[in-house]
Amino acid sequence: MAAAASSTEFEYLTGFNNHFATEALPGALPKGKNSPQNCPYGLYAEQLSGTAFTRPRATNRRTWLYRIRPSVCHSGPFLPYPHPTAALSESVPTPPSQLRWKPLPIPIVGEGVSEGEGIDFVRGLNKMASAGEPSMKAGVAFYIYTANEPMTRTALKNADGDFLIVPQSGELIVKTEMGSMHVPPGFICVVQRGIAFSVNFAEGTTAVRGYVCEVYDGHFEIPDLGPIGANGLANPRDFESPVAAYDADAEDPADNAFVVVHKFLGALYETQASHSPFNVVAWHGNYAPWRYNLDNFNVINSVSFDHPDPCIFTVVTVQTAEPGRAALDFVVFKERWSVATDTFRPPYFHTNCMTEFMGLITGRYDAKEEGFLPGGASLHSAGSAHGPDVDAFTKATTSDLTPDFISEGAIAFMFESCYLTHLSKFALDENLLDTSYTESAWGPFESNFDPTKP
Ligand SMILES: O=C(O)Cc1cc(O)ccc1O
Ligand SMILES: [Fe+2]
């Protein structure tokens, strides 16, 4: 497939939830006020709210955009957007089975998508599982995307939730109204609701695969550190937001045409725009997309005994109103020293009241060294017991407990949610599922119980 290559050289503004100010033309930001009678360069002033106007200052998010045309010129009339796998996204009766998926082919060919067809990020977004309702601002959706075409003249604007994008293969250029970000595997990015964006490819990338978590609740925050102190895990200064950049109008009106896909109440709508929605010449505010390099995550773990719960690896979280109960924790399992004495070191057997959707970006995961593959996924629903597979158990109970540098170069992750998710029809496709998962992982366990040997 032809892929328009994009440069990866972008500037960034650093710091989590900072109040940024950035202009692509000198003096484009009005001085001292948000909404002057006339804006510099003939721009239109427009506010984008990320939270209710009345939220307390600490959690209030909004950005002022100075743009060539108001956003309303790029929206409506809205017509249903024919998504190739829409029918497969529908929720189906969901068993509590522990599930594992093989790496998804790029692109996925099947119902709705024929061999050789160009598929972009929006058309290649496949819903695996979801819970809740965008209309009530509570819930999540987990997706795997595969695409072989950039969104050169298409943008997506999501009213339902924030998108956390986790590339697994292929380097993304995520172009947003606030500017562009390079997001290769090993990085994550968040594009919050209401911000139009296109997923394009970096030079050398012709096909991509990765994971997306959409959260209908609030926005991603860095977790509080409690007794850990003022530093550690994900540090605020490592979050990078784009600088302002805009598409200038081309001379030929035909070259300016854009399709804006709008996600609203779980459905996709399209609108034909005569100009690019990426027309923000300057912006200021604290509601902006960001990227984060997972290399910067400072792993903290036990240096005495026992296996801490996986929340110790939370990079960012979306909280519900109940303290400590996450709509979504994004948790990363990466290389680290494993030193705990007299301890079963891999993830323990457990039943969680939260839902655990996992993916693997690269390398191996210590609870399942075989079978859980990069580009694949697993789902352990709330209430469904799971744990290390028999090989991991045998290795962990027989090896010497010397300090061990584990999972070298590996990055696994978990979307952990307090919501119970429904599977999509797509997720139950037998060609995508690893149908031998539960039997191969846990079937061989035998009783080692001997009442004579304490
Ligand atoms: O199930 C999993 O592999 C994820 C996980 C990891 C861990 O270290 C502890 C608990 C847990 O759910
Ligand atoms: Fe688990």
Residue 1 has a pLDDT of: 39
pTM (predicted TM-score): 0.97
C-alpha to C-alpha distance for 400 and 30, rounded to whole angstroms: 65
- pLDDT tier at 2, thresholds 50, 70, 90: very low
Whether 270 has a binding-site annotation, put simply, is: no
- ipTM over 0.90? The verdict is yes
Pick from 348, 351, 368, 413 the residue to mutate for probing ligand 1's pocket: most ligand atoms within 8 Å of its CB.
348
pLDDT tens for 118-135 read 999 999 999 999 999 999
- Asked whether 297 and 389 are in contact (CB, 8 A), the reply is no
- Asked whether 189 and 165 are in contact (CB, 8 A), the reply is yes
Burial code of 270-296, b = ≥16 C-beta within 10 A, e = fewer?
bbebebbbbbbbbbbbbbbbbbbebee
Q: Is 347 in the pocket of ligand 1 (CB under 6 A)?
A: yes
Is 219 catalytic? The answer is no
pLDDT tens for 35-73 read 999 999 999 999 999 999 999 999 999 999 999 999 999
Q: Is 386 in the pocket of ligand 1 (CB under 6 A)?
A: yes
In the chain the domains, ranked by start, together with CATH numbers, are 5-87+115-293 (2.60.120.10), 294-442 (2.60.120.10)
Whether 262 has a binding-site annotation, put simply, is: no
Whether 81 has a binding-site annotation, put simply, is: no
List residues bridging with 23 in a β-sheet: 282
Mean pLDDT for the chain overall: 95
Q: Is 414 in the pocket of ligand 1 (CB under 6 A)?
A: yes
Question: Across 170-298, where does the E strand assignment appear?
Answer: 172-176, 179-183, 187-191, 197-202, 208-215, 239-242, 258-264, 267-273, 280-285, 290-293
CA distances from 221 to 58, 170, 318 (A): 12, 26, 6
Residue 120 has a pLDDT of: 96
- pLDDT tier at 116, thresholds 50, 70, 90: confident
- Measured in whole angstroms, the distance separating CA 38 from the mean position of its chain's CA atoms is 38
Taking the centre of ligand 1 as the mean of its atom positions, its distance from the CA of residue 108, in whole angstroms, is 29
- Asked whether 74 and 277 are in contact (CB, 8 A), the reply is yes
Q: Read off the pLDDT of each residue in 196-219 and give the average, rounded to a whole number.
A: 97
C-alpha to C-alpha distance for 276 and 256, rounded to whole angstroms: 6
Residue 6 has a pLDDT of: 65
C-alpha to C-alpha distance for 255 and 247, rounded to whole angstroms: 11
Burial (0-12, 13-18, 19+ Cβ within 10 Å), 416: buried
Q: Is 416 in the pocket of ligand 1 (CB under 6 A)?
A: no
